[in-house]
Amino acid sequence: MKIQLLNDDVTCEVGNGETVLAALVRGGLVIDAPCGGRGFCGKCRVRLVRGTIRPLAGRKAADNAGFILACQVIPETDITIELPRNDGSVQNEVDTVVRNLKTPARAGIALDLGTTTLSAQLVDMDGNEVLDTHSELNDQRVFGADVMSRINAAKNGKTGELFTLINRQTDRTIRRFCEKWGIARIEKLVVAGNTTMLHLFTGTDPSSMGEVPFTPVFLETRQFRGEELSLPAEHITVLPSIAAFIGGDIVSGLASLDILTGADNSLLIDIGTNGEMALFHGDRIYCCSTAAGPALEGAEISCGMGGVTGAISRITRENGNLSFTVIGGAEPRGICGSGLIDIMALMLREGIIDETGALDDAYSGGFTVTENISLINRDVRQYQLAKSAILSGVKILCKNAGLNLADIGTVYIAGGLGFFINKENAVATGLLPREFLDRIAVCGNLSLRGALRCLGEDAAFLAACERIILKSVSIDLAADAAFMDEFAENMLF
């Protein structure tokens, strides 16, 4: 049997008893599936145009509009489907720097492999100049929105498929740059990312990080020839990590800040799926990773989406009406993390939700943003879980370093969400403590910035990464009794 895409020549073969989602993944087609195909997020909806399907036990077939959950139905005949509108492209933090296309004599690429987003920059290595920037959603999202979903998929024998997805996407990104700029070869590729993503990028099974004692196969810097990973780059450097859940993205970010030569009591928070953070104090770097979940990346939220075209990124109330900014200037299709923070702050200010997160009775059916976008009680709870995890992690880091929140100097906020975040609203909702309000420096993608520096300062930058790792102390929040007390207390707004 086959799956045919509407208005497209693309077809996928369907194995015996295989769901539509599994067949699409095997065929190299990517759609959102934040829950990893478990059937509760509702994000893998596709429209059945022709053919017959059989729902899994206890699940529904097509709704009145013909939509099905791809992870919960099995084709019984050849079918034709229509995929959701989403090209996976992400709004870049910076525009292309060089406007006139001039082929560089020596080209390199810096690459940040995020759980949610892949971001890359093309560099003229002779002039140390950024030529182009490209970001798009990580194709591995079909296996789930967070690293534990990817690790569990690897445990179930999917390491090869996960490697193929990210390898093919990286190859496509490299070739996109080469074709646009007329480049014959990429001299160097530097890759930063969390520990799980770096394992999957190198084709290494991350399953051992899915259970106690959470042991990675490798943490050190890895060097490859391009052909070893079937990528069109002469030399590939994979940046080192600190621990299973303190990855090369945090190391890269800390090195890009020159953290060890900066002011004492500096805190870096990467607000994303893993909620990684690091506090520099007294010649030590205290690190932790909080299970913030993917809510702030748009997953686990009924109307949530990544920071792509059509996502509401900012929301305010003006003259009694909601006013919002939509990425790409398109029609709004959902809300990304920064927009979620804004709307939570707005609902708190207007008494639509109380300190426990309960919606006022007048909004029992949800808070409407647009005709097709609304927030329900479960969405508020998912935000509370994420914000409590991050705030609790910050407090535990301070406790271990012997500091009060007021002792922290500069607070660096990194990640794609950090680039768009409204600091006042983040504080108002309890995502960040009030003591930080005037100390926050929004930095965007520090992981990518570090990879970029490594292209031009290879040996010196890697040496800085090693010094950071030697001075780092990784704190296991699950083993810290105070963390759960903090977590329960910080659930309230």
Mind listing the domains of the chain with CATH numbers? 2-82 (3.10.20.30), 107-238 (3.30.420.480)
Beta pairing class for 373-375 and 367-370: antiparallel
Taking alpha carbons only, the member of 201, 199, 221, 222 closest to residue 209 is: 199
pLDDT number for residue 266: 96
CA proximity to 114, closest of 53, 55, 48, 198: 198
**Residue from 199, 234, 233, 229 nearest 216 by CA:** 199
Q: pTM for the whole thing?
A: 0.86
Q: How confident is the prediction along the chain (493 residues), in pLDDT tens digits per residue?
A: 888 887 777 788 888 888 888 888 777 777 777 777 777 667 778 888 888 888 887 677 777 777 888 888 888 888 888 877 655 555 444 444 455 578 999 999 999 999 888 999 999 999 888 999 998 889 998 898 889 999 999 999 999 999 999 999 999 999 999 999 999 999 999 999 999 999 999 999 999 999 888 999 999 999 999 999 999 999 999 999 999 999 999 999 999 999 999 888 999 999 877 789 999 999 999 999 987 767 787 777 888 887 778 889 899 998 889 999 998 888 898 998 899 999 999 999 999 999 999 999 999 889 999 988 999 999 999 999 999 999 999 999 999 999 999 999 999 998 767 667 899 999 999 999 999 999 999 888 899 999 999 999 889 999 999 999 999 999 999 888 899 999 999 999 9
How big is the chain by its Cα radius of gyration, in Å? 22
AA letter at 482? A
Residue 85 in tokens: 């509108």
Cβ(204)–Cβ(151) below 8 Å:
no
d(CA 117, CA 307): 9
In this predicted structure, what is the pLDDT of residue 93? 44
How far is it, in rounded angstroms, from Cα 293 to Cα 487? 14
**pLDDT of 89:** 54
- The tokens 């729902």 sit on which residue? 55
